[in-house]
Chains A and B, each alone.
Chain A
Amino acid sequence: MDGGKPEYFNEMFDGGMVRAPYAGLDAWTRQMPPELRNLKQSEAEKLFRRIGITFAVYGEGGDPDRLIPFDMFPRVFSSAEWRKLEAGIKQRARALNAFLMDVYGRGEIVKAGRIPAHLVYRNDAFEKSVVGFKPPRGVYSHIVGIDIVRTGPEEFFVLEDNCRTPSGVSYMLENREIMMRLFPGLFRENRISPVENYPALLKRTLASVAPHKCDGDPCVVILTPGHFNSAYYEHSFLADMMGVELVEGQDLFVEGDYVWMRTTQGPRRVDVIYRRIDDAFIDPLCFRPDSMLGVPGLMNVYRSGGVTIASAPGAGVADDKAIYTFVPEMIRFYLGETPILNNVPTWQCARADECAYVLEHLGELVVKEVHGSGGYGMLVGPKSTKEQIAAFAEKIREDPSNYIAQPTLALSTCPSFVEEGVAPRHVDLRPYCLVGERIELVPGGLTRVALREGSLVVNSSQGGGVKDTWVMAE
């Protein structure tokens, strides 16, 4: 990559040829006059604003009702490509859950020496209070968001796993709704797999992990930190689509061996809580005593099997960036299978030799904080100045174990609508895998796109946008 401009895989064009999955979109863009495009774009924006799907970036101030830019050019996978992705994603979700059951149980993978003990047991996300507890159906992470990037026709890499509360699924659903409203013709002419049953599958998944003590139809709720949270729209959207109550901590209380919600007709028992708040906040008696968001006593009920919490407290230990390196190992250890999706090669700065390599090659690597998210606190070597690199090197030397490094991947591009017309922009993909009685994956996900020319950072907090993601039916 030194000096020369890297070659990026364009998902639509192979040389001058249009790749098969995109065949239906070629004529569509060619025939779309700029006026129509602008009209549709402003219509889309109006629809988004109307339904109130907005995104607030923490710490940035500004407009709390900001929209994430929506790019109308869809991102497409063939059914064969998706089959491979689907198998790989489900495999990974199974292995991650097996790992969680193991490390809160007998810890075989540690005893076998496949993962260093301190990375697991001294991890901040390791939750001692649930050691020895077996959640219903042995599932810790019920919604697994796996971030995937592509570098070639057959080359897919997992960038990171999200085992706690991956967000963004409302965009997957709303992007599709809006595309269907704006361009019904496209959906008549192309066989695009629907994603709209996601809320129903999510509800079924959550109901399937109801505690043993639950008799009858399980009462499922979504627990939100409240309407000031940046993802509140998504919480209320999912509650609405699933037909379940959206509760805050103050709506729940513990009495006897159960959790109840306060209703206008008196208390009602709750069986499954899909929580969208962090472990640290769910029970002030067990975790942070200053938390106003949680429910005092919730963990006691949980551990005595009175309620299911999804994802389970402690699930975060599996998606830590330091543990990430070992996921292929988990797949081999628990499933006896070969990993279908590869990891991005990763250097752990915690190891002296690897750290030395990273410091020598900062100019060509991407360095991330182990616990960071949202594209904050990272260094993209090839895009940084000498001064930025020097400053970052200082930070790494101060606390090496806080950083990991990966090669700068040649992320694939997908055509996107930009000022001048249509141009390739880098994309990634987050599918949402559901784990309960069964493992389900709707054919689609959230495609994020780096709308700034040349940018490789797709996070919405860093100028990224979203696209509808199509999987062609067989």
Chain B
Amino acid sequence: MLSRTAASLYWIARYMERAETVARLLEVGGRNALIPNLSGGFRNEWESILQASGTQAGFAAKYGDPVSRNIESYLFFDLDNPSSVASCITGARENGRIVRTALTSAVWDALNTGYQEMLAMRRTERSKLPLSELIDWTMRQSMILRGAIEDTQLRVDGYDFLNIGYHLERADSTARLVDVKYFVLLPQVDYVGSGLDNYQWRTILRAMSAHRAFSWAYGGEITPAKIADFLILNRKAPRSLITATEGAASHLDRLARGYGRSTEAQTKARSLVAELAEATVEDIFDEGLHEFLTRFIDEISALGGVIHEVYLSGDTR
């Protein structure tokens, strides 16, 4: 397969997963803003959302103060923001158009229809589009595409590149979503375990479509340790860091088997999985949740770099 084709497939998946993450962040922000700000001096919840999506600087330059309506526009519709839902969906569709021949018509249809609907929404008056609908719409587009890929794509290397993109982006996004928590609570240790704290943790679970799954898996009180365990170390949670990392590693392994050649990418992915498999929540809290997540995000991005180098750049000999 052409390296450029592989790169486009990888980016289709990354963009769609990123669009979904932004929608999930918007959900966290929207819900957090519904509870009274009991803690004067706290950071603005919305600001933490911008921070987690890595768009704070861009937003500040364009709008200044974080007002919820502006943040919604910036994160959803703004094409100046490379991480907005609109930008991601446009990017995914554009990459799809480039590698149209590597996609089934069902997959292309999902990409193209999502894009056309997005264009229609951009022309619609904003007041007719409540945030909750925008969030649901984005999740649905992402799932339709994912379903089309799973149901129709041939299980060849292209399928692996799509999945590697998905899993890497998902690992990155879960880490960022959990990290939001850190920004919200930064100055206050007193609130850990308080009512407010639990409400916010619960919102994170909800944004991961996992609050009911969590109750089934753990039961009892919601504690930060349980949630961290669920979202980072639990293989049953579909969006946990370990599930996502293992997913990327297993598709890299498939690739290595198919090509009859293992590379640095496989080695690196496996060592990341090994670290997560051995870690405990205590280890993570000892290191500091934020410190752990920051390090993990860096590792994932380094893995992305290696994958680019050995498969996507076309410079391999």
Q: Which residues of A contact B (CB under 8 A)?
A: 50-52, 227, 232, 236, 239-240, 245-248, 250-251, 261-267
- Known pairs A52-B108, A264-B311, A265-B259; list 20 more (Cβ under 8 Å): A51-B105, A52-B100, A52-B112, A227-B97, A239-B101, A240-B101, A247-B2, A251-B3, A251-B314, A262-B313, A262-B314, A262-B315, A263-B3, A264-B1, A264-B6, A264-B259, A264-B312, A265-B261, A265-B316, A267-B317
Flag if A245 contacts B2 (CB, 8 Å): yes
Flag if B98 contacts A227 (CB, 8 Å): yes
A288–B284 Cα gap in the complex (Å)?
58
A246–B97 Cα gap in the complex (Å)?
12
Q: List 6 A-B contacts (CB under 8 A).
A: A50-B112, A251-B3, A262-B2, A263-B2, A265-B1, A266-B316
In the assembled complex, which residues on chain A have CB atoms less than 8 Å from the CB atom of B112? 50, 52
Flag if A263 contacts B261 (CB, 8 Å): no
Q: Does B4 make an interface contact (CB < 8 A)?
A: yes
Q: Does B109 make an interface contact (CB < 8 A)?
A: yes
Q: Does B157 make an interface contact (CB < 8 A)?
A: yes
Distance between B102 CB and nearest chain A CB, rounded to angstroms: 9
Closest A residue to B258 by CB, please name it.
Answer: A265
In the assembled complex, which residues on chain A have CB atoms less than 8 Å from the CB atom of B316? 264-266
In the assembled complex, which residues on chain A have CB atoms less than 8 Å from the CB atom of B261? 265
A52-B108, A52-B112, A251-B314 known; A264 and B3 CB under 8 Å? yes
Distance between B7 CB and nearest chain A CB, rounded to angstroms: 9
Flag if A248 contacts B4 (CB, 8 Å): yes
Distance between B311 CB and nearest chain A CB, rounded to angstroms: 5
Distance between A329 CB and nearest chain B CB, rounded to angstroms: 43
In the assembled complex, which residues on chain B have CB atoms less than 8 Å from the CB atom of A262? 2-4, 313-315
In the assembled complex, which residues on chain A have CB atoms less than 8 Å from the CB atom of B105? 50-51
In the assembled complex, which residues on chain B have CB atoms less than 8 Å from the CB atom of A50? 105, 109, 112
A361–B161 Cα gap in the complex (Å)?
64
Closest B residue to A248 by CB, please name it.
Answer: B4
Closest A residue to B98 by CB, please name it.
Answer: A227
A236–B5 Cα gap in the complex (Å)?
12
Distance between B144 CB and nearest chain A CB, rounded to angstroms: 15
Closest B residue to A241 by CB, please name it.
Answer: B101
Interface size of B as a range: 20 to 34
Flag if A263 contacts B1 (CB, 8 Å): yes
A265-B259, A265-B261, A267-B317 known; A236 and B2 CB under 8 Å? no
In the assembled complex, which residues on chain A have CB atoms less than 8 Å from the CB atom of B4? 248, 250-251, 262
Flag if A236 contacts B3 (CB, 8 Å): no
In the assembled complex, which residues on chain B have CB atoms less than 8 Å from the CB atom of A250? 4
In the assembled complex, which residues on chain A have CB atoms less than 8 Å from the CB atom of B3? 251, 262-264
Sort A-B residue pairs by CB-CB distance and give the 7 closest, nearest first. A262-B314, A240-B101, A262-B3, A264-B311, A227-B98, A264-B6, A236-B100
In the assembled complex, which residues on chain A have CB atoms less than 8 Å from the CB atom of B108? 52
Most A C-beta atoms less than 10 A away, residue of B1, B3, B6, B108:
B3
In the assembled complex, which residues on chain B have CB atoms less than 8 Å from the CB atom of A251? 2-4, 314
A160–B315 Cα gap in the complex (Å)?
44
In the assembled complex, which residues on chain B have CB atoms less than 8 Å from the CB atom of A263? 1-3, 314
Flag if A240 contacts B109 (CB, 8 Å): no
A227–B98 Cα gap in the complex (Å)?
6
Closest B residue to A232 by CB, please name it.
Answer: B97
In the assembled complex, which residues on chain B have CB atoms less than 8 Å from the CB atom of A265? 1, 259, 261, 316
A245–B314 Cα gap in the complex (Å)?
15
Distance between A236 CB and nearest chain B CB, rounded to angstroms: 5
Distance between A364 CB and nearest chain B CB, rounded to angstroms: 46
Closest A residue to B314 by CB, please name it.
Answer: A262
A245–B312 Cα gap in the complex (Å)?
16
A51–B104 Cα gap in the complex (Å)?
11
A261–B4 Cα gap in the complex (Å)?
10
Flag if B157 contacts A264 (CB, 8 Å): yes
Closest B residue to A243 by CB, please name it.
Answer: B101
Closest A residue to B108 by CB, please name it.
Answer: A52
A399–B30 Cα gap in the complex (Å)?
68
Flag if B100 contacts A240 (CB, 8 Å): yes
A250–B315 Cα gap in the complex (Å)?
11
Distance between A311 CB and nearest chain B CB, rounded to angstroms: 22
A450–B284 Cα gap in the complex (Å)?
71
In the assembled complex, which residues on chain B have CB atoms less than 8 Å from the CB atom of A247? 2
Distance between A230 CB and nearest chain B CB, rounded to angstroms: 13
Contact of B101 among A236, A248, A264 (CB under 8 A): A236
In the assembled complex, which residues on chain A have CB atoms less than 8 Å from the CB atom of B161? 264
A225–B188 Cα gap in the complex (Å)?
57
Closest A residue to B157 by CB, please name it.
Answer: A264
Interface flags for B277-317 (1: CB within 8 Å of A; 0: not) read: 00000000000000000000000000000000001111111
A264–B100 Cα gap in the complex (Å)?
18
A52–B116 Cα gap in the complex (Å)?
12
Closest B residue to A253 by CB, please name it.
Answer: B314
Distance between A232 CB and nearest chain B CB, rounded to angstroms: 8
Contact of A52 among B5, B97, B259, B312 (CB under 8 A): B97
Interface flags for B44-84 (1: CB within 8 Å of A; 0: not) read: 00000000000000000000000000000000000000000
